[in-house]
């Protein structure tokens, strides 16, 4: 069995001699650090260059059939790993250092570890839930590719796309549980099983994906895995503390949206179904999202399953989309008038000021006072 640390010593000695100012950190991670090395294991080691010249220290080689990859991680990439923007967080968090150029380099590296150690804090929950959602969003691309190609002749292609979905789901669940994985290929499932937040039928879905020889079954299992994970993300988002704020979210919203409401009324009066179709859907969905943000203190997620409509329905706003009918525009027109009145009253009740004027002169007086008020604040601040 090769003495991999003798190999590491050669490299470190070389760095001290030829790159003393060019390499900041050398470390190793993986099977030897975790006590899992076999006779075929290499040493997973890396270095952080301090200069462009330092990258020359990298080397890929094979000794007696064992491959080695002494690879560079720039400080910028190490920071992304520590911020969970790349998934190899364990490399920074759990490595053993073999060489450090200076106390400053060590302090910088330990700051990265400090960032990682805060991963489980409550203050990180919202940020990591957003990351969990973003990762799942990437699954839809692979899902579409499988559905387009999925047939009895394409089991290999289907499994390849499904494997990519599995890895992304594992990453998403890690973010959702505010943990990172210490082991990768072939060891995800054993780590995921201990997570408190995961799909109830996770093992069943994974078994189908890994062992089924029927593309349709693999595709269906992927769909269910994605859907269940999205539901967990939604539950997590809803459980997080939010700050209700209409004044912060809806100031100026009505004044801007009034133009679209007028456009929709005109489309109804002219029988312009195409304009009515796009504007009605945009108005309803936009208002639903703004109401959600005002009530919850955050915007709905990009891959939400319709939860953002909760307050639109709760407050009794009319369903404009359901009233779209190219043969009869009157119900939609009346609903737009109802929505406009209801929204005005709702915002006034919540203390949101509406800048509406009956004349140009009235607006001029308002705008003059506003400008003078702003100037007064500026003059006070500058004194």
The residue from 222, 239, 256 where one domain ends is 239
**Any domain includes 164:** yes
| Angle at which helices 155-176 and 125-137 cross, to 10° | 170
- Per-residue burial over 157-170, b = 16 or more CB atoms within 10 Å of its CB, e = otherwise: ebbebbebbbbbbb
Residue 207 lies in a domain: yes
Q: State whether 104 and 163 are in the same domain.
A: no
In which element (H, E) is residue 196 found?
none
Q: For residue 10, what are the domain limits?
A: 4-117
45 lies in the same domain as 63: yes
Q: Is 186 helix (H, G, I), strand (E, B) or coil?
A: coil
* Cβ atoms 62, 52 nearer than 8 A: no
pLDDT at 347: 95
Within a domain: 368: no
Q: Where are the beta strands (DSSP E) in the chain?
A: 23-29, 44-49, 59-63, 66-72, 96-100
Total-model pTM: 0.75
Tens digit of pLDDT for each residue in 275-286? Answer: 999 999 999 999
Tokens representing residue 361 in the block: 């002169």
* Number of domains observed in the structure of the chain: 3
Q: What share of the chain is helix, strand, coil (3-state, %, to 5)?
A: 65, 10, 30
For residue 48, give the CATH number of its domain.
3.30.460.10
The DSSP letter of residue 350 is T
In a domain, 85, yes or no: yes
User: Which residues of the chain register pLDDT less than 70?
Assistant: 150-153, 186, 241, 302-303, 374-383
């Amino acid at each position: 069995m090769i003495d991999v640390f003798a190999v590491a010593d050669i490299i470190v000695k070389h760095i001290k001699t030829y790159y003393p100012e060019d390499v900041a950190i050398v470390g190793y991670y993986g099977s030897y650090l975790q006590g899992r090395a076999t006779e075929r294991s290499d040493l997973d080691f890396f270095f952080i260059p301090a200069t462009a010249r330092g990258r020359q220290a990298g080397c890929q080689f094979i000794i007696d059939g064992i491959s080695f990859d002494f690879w560079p991680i720039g400080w910028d990439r190490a920071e992304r790993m520590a911020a969970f923007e790349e998934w190899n967080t364990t490399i920074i968090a759990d490595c053993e250092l073999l060489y450090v150029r200076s106390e400053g380099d060590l302090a910088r590296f330990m700051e990265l570890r400090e960032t990682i150690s805060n991963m489980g804090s409550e203050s990180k929950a919202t940020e990591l839930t957003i990351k969990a959602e973003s990762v799942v969003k990437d699954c839809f691309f692979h899902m579409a590719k499988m559905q387009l190609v999925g047939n009895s002749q394409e089991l290999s292609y289907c499994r390849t796309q499904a494997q990519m979905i599995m890895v992304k789901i594992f990453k998403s669940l890690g973010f959702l549980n505010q943990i990172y994985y210490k082991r990768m290929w072939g060891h995800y499932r054993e780590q995921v099983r201990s997570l408190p937040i995961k799909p109830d039928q996770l093992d069943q879905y994974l078994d189908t994906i890994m062992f089924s020889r029927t593309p349709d079954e693999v595709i269906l299992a992927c769909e269910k895995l994605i859907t269940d994970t999205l539901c967990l993300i939604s539950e997590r988002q809803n459980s997080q503390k939010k700050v209700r704020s209409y004044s912060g979210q809806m100031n100026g919203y009505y004044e801007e949206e009034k133009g679209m409401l007028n456009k929709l009324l005109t489309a109804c009066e002219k029988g312009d179904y195409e304009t009515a179709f796009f504007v009605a859907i945009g108005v309803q969905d936009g208002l639903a999202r703004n109401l959600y943000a005002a009530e919850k203190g955050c915007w709905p997620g990009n891959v939400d399953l319709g939860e953002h409509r909760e307050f639109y329905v709760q407050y009794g706003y009319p369903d404009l989309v359901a009233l779209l009918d190219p043969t009869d525009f009157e119900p939609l027109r009346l609903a737009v008038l109802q929505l406009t009145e209801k929204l005005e009253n709702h915002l006034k009740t919540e203390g949101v000021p509406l800048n509406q004027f009956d004349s140009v002169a009235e607006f001029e007086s308002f705008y003059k006072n506003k400008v003078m008020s702003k100037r007064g604040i500026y003059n006070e601040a500058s004194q």
